[in-house]
Chain A
Amino acid sequence: MSGIVEPTRTQPLAIDVRGIRRVYNVKPKPVVALDGVDLAVEPGEFFGLLGPNGAGKTTLIKILTTLLLPSEGTARIFGFDVSRQTKQIRRIMNMVAGGEQSGYGILTVREQLWMFSQFYGLPSRDGWNRVDELVEAVGLEEQTAQRVSTLSTGQRQRMNFARGLLNDPWIFFLDEPTLGLDVSAARAVRELILAWKAAVPGRTVLLTTHYMAEADELCDRIAIVDHGRILALGTPDELKKRVQRESVFRLELDRLDGGAAALRRLPGVVSAALAAGDQADGGAERRTVEVNLALVDDGALGGVVGALGGLGSSILALRKSEPSLEDVFVELVGRGFGDESTDDDHTADAANGAADKGAGNGSVPGLRADDPNVTDTTDDAREREAEAIR
């Protein structure tokens, strides 16, 4: 729950959130989806909200896109209040969500995009021109005359991006935009986001995701969110350094007489252990030895290298291990993204999850959610995407 809030400035912040709280009055007890969030995003930033399902990411994005009112607190987009100055905000922002099959199936891609250009107030001719430009930019030239209902999931998401860019937004809200896409389509979406952002300096992006690699790749700064609170905020490197209290190296040696214990006795060594493979088979069949080494700081490495020479070992490879955002998350929350919440968390997660993606997300119209023929596309998609990113 922190952010950069400067008291005096001439240019308004792209996003200025102060004390936002959002409570859903559901039975059996109200659920706090956002619990006093403060956030400041500068114009031109690529900002990520990273958190597990039900963390409150989408609730925040819905408030910022004027789709939902906050229970308490204020939020401003380029100085405009999300509760009272919605028209101004809507002219300079746009949004795209992932994991949904949205669109008027009977219309062609071109027709649908033109309709939205009209909703954004573009003169008709400008609207057609803008649609043609964007269709080319997102790589949908061959599908312009195709009905929306016939598009693949990836093509539909490209069309959604074209819709989202129609009004040349100052700030683009992306709510899990790669959810449900296969590897290739997800990569194309990430490339598109980066290309759009790079095309004009000053464009701002707020991305929510629960894919750590995606956040790490795209974002200038990241807020890690869980249970409606911002737990940490900073650049990906800053966040990683928070959990990197020691310098961790992996050494590959030609031999190690005396085993890892010989290393533990060296000055500056916090811990030393043989890599898992070497432990399992005792290194009998291996010609090299791999050791995971934690030092008090990088400066201790010189002493270790010198001491290894004294032990008759030659270093074949040395790699410094960096913590991942997942390490940061586990450190902050005490559990990974895929781990179960505690029982007390379930209600909040369910409410946030419903708010995040709609209670029936992924369901097939006309079929019940408990119908065995209905696939939970959301879960499938998440697994595919997680695998793709890995």
Chain B
Amino acid sequence: MTTEPAIRPDAAGLASPEWGGFDMARTRGRGWPDVRRSFTTAVRLGWQMEANWTDPVLFFIYSVAKPLASALILVVMLDVISGGAKPEYRAFVVVGSALWSFVLSGVSGLAWMILDDRERYRMLKYIYVSPSDFLAVVFGRGVARIGVGAMGAAITLAIGVVFLNVPFDVSRIDWPILVTVMTLGVGSILAIALLLAAICMQTRQESWSYPEAAAGALFLVSGVVFPLSVLPLPVQALGLLTPLTWWVEGVRLALFPGGLTAIGGPGSLFTELTGTAGPGAAMIVLVLLATGAMATLGALAVFRASDRRAKDRGLLDQTTGS
């Protein structure tokens, strides 16, 4: 039996604070400022949870070593298969795999937040029954993970340039395109992440692997490390409907103008449909905007439906174990 410190009935904390008490005005929220506060608090919470600086080795392995190793494996494979890959192929592979670590972190972040908070920390129900905007909290936690993924992607790119002779010239970067496609791309990643979070809200603890599985499937159809033209036409069509395909293409175009395209080229569905060798910057932005908007709207609808179903079935505080 522990010795418990005494409760002080006269403690100030037990009385109502100035802003508290039985004032009906307290039942009304402040709208956008409340949403913003929920979001920024969740970002801060997420950053503290995801970037576990107290365990730098673990952080390094997941955030830097893993994506870097993946990129190196692909580059070495490419060199072995092709007997010495051209620098532009290396750029193609390094950019693709660097961005993919970003995608993996992003799409996993929201779903893992749901599973971790519900089953590991058992705090999801307390967040849910607070007046915070639940969607803003979920997004905030995801943003933190995207930030961690971005660090890994930047380090992978830097190592590709310094050690793998990826031809990179800062003066040739198309900054407006880069900023535009990155903004739209992050939005699309969050949309896909939200979709997976909605699915994981309905599933058991073991479903932490679902986001990685989904990211793996998208990896195949998004032209990340090989052009779409090597895929069967129906799979190419699927790839063209995925915003990530256009995002990766846009980033490549912005960083390495005139480089290889993953979308067009001989044998590609895109070239067959449009008669052009590859998409231009304007088309990339427009299609990314359109597919990203569709993904976002779809994800929001699915998340709302999942939220409602979880509340109906009592899934928000379930602990399924594993």
Residues of A that sit less than 8 Å from B by CB? 24-25, 59, 62, 65-69, 78, 80, 87-95, 100-107, 111, 115-116, 118-122, 126, 129-130, 133-140, 142, 152, 154, 162-163, 165, 167-168, 170, 182-185, 187-188, 191-192, 195-196, 198-200, 202, 354-355, 358-361, 363, 365-366, 368-369
A185 in contact with B12 (CB, 8 Å): no
Q: If A106-B54, A121-B30 touch, does A358 touch B317 (CB 8 Å cutoff)?
A: yes
CA distance A365 to B150 in the complex (A): 30
Contact yes or no, B321 A121, CB < 8 A: no
Q: Which residues of B contact A62 (CB under 8 A)?
A: 314, 317
B162 within 8 A of A: no
Return the contact of B137 from the options A119, A140, A163, A354 (Cβ within 8 A).
A119
Given contacts A90-B129, A118-B37, A184-B3, contact A138 B13 (CB under 8 A): yes
- Determine the distance from Cα of A95 to Cα of B26 in the docked complex, in whole angstroms: 18
The answer to whether A139 touches B2, judged by C-beta atoms less than 8 angstroms apart, is no
Q: How far is the CA of A121 from the CA of B22 in the complex (A)?
A: 17
B contact residues around A120 at 8 Å (CB): 130-132
Partner of B314, one of A68, A107, A168, A200: A68
B34 to chain A, nearest CB (A): 5
- Verify A137–B131 contact, CB threshold 8 A: no
Q: Nearest chain-A residue to B19 (Cβ)?
A: A126
Q: A88-B28, A139-B5 are in contact. Are A365 and B120 (CB under 8 A)?
A: yes
Alpha-carbon distance A130/B131, docked complex (angstroms): 17
Q: Is B17 an interface residue (CB 8 A)?
A: yes
Distance to closest chain B CB from A188 (angstroms):
4
9 contacts between A and B (CB under 8 A): A93-B129, A94-B129, A102-B123, A106-B52, A119-B132, A138-B13, A184-B3, A185-B4, A360-B119
Given contact pairs A358-B317, A359-B319, A104 touches B49 in the complex (Cβ within 8 A): yes
Mostly, the B contact residues are loop
Please give 17 more A-B residue pairs, beta carbons under 8 A apart, in addition to A62-B317, A139-B4, A191-B9: A66-B129, A67-B316, A95-B129, A102-B123, A102-B126, A115-B41, A136-B12, A136-B13, A139-B5, A168-B20, A182-B1, A185-B4, A187-B4, A188-B5, A192-B7, A195-B11, A358-B317
What chain A residues lie within 8 Å of B130 (beta carbons)? 90, 116, 119-120, 167
Is the CB–CB distance between B54 and A360 below 8 Å?
A: no
Interfacial chain A residues near B119, Cβ < 8 Å: 360, 365
Given the contacts A111-B48, A133-B12, A163-B126, A152 and B131 also touching, CB distance less than 8 Å: no
Complex A-B, nearest 4 residue pairs according to Cβ-Cβ distance, in ascending order: A168-B20, A137-B13, A133-B13, A139-B5
Complexed CA–CA distance, A74 and B184 (Å): 43
| Distance A112 CA – B40 CA, assembled complex (angstroms) | 15
B20 closest partner in A (C-beta)? A168
Contact B27 A106 (CB under 8 A): no
